[in-house]
Amino acid sequence: MIVVLSRFVIANDRSEAVREAFRGRPRLVDEAHGFLGLEVMNPVEHPEEIWLVTRWSDESSYHDWHRGHAYSASHRGIPKGLKLVQGSARITVFEVFAD
């Protein structure tokens, strides 16, 4: 299993719109091959910093999703006018070797 941490920081005052977009997301990833789960969160003291933690059976399933049409479609709900802090977007892939 792998865990993918995607992180970004919102530059303008759109944190609540981003939270609402995630709450109402189309859930397209839920049907992706190898997808095991998703949590979306922010550090309590930094509501403008968004973390997405996804769990996948293997890295190739994650990459297949990331390159697919459903991935693009899932991002259509991004709030209009959203701006990110330049250089803040990061993706880190973790191998889970014990639980």
Domain edges within the chain: 2-95
What whole-number percentage of the chain has pLDDT above 90? 89
> What integer pLDDT is reported at residue 43 of this predicted model?
96
Could you give the residue ranges of the DSSP H alpha helices within the chain? 15-23, 59-67, 69-74
Q: Are 73 and 1 in contact (CB under 8 A)?
A: no
Cα 37 to Cα 43: distance, rounded to the nearest angstrom: 20
> pLDDT tier at 30 (50, 70, 90 boundaries)?
very high
Beta-bridge mates of residue 37: 55
> pLDDT tier at 9 (50, 70, 90 boundaries)?
very high
pLDDT digits (tens, 9 = 90+) for 59-79: 999 999 999 999 999 988 889
Q: Which CATH architecture has domain 2-95?
A: 2-Layer Sandwich (3.30)
- The model carries a pTM of 0.90
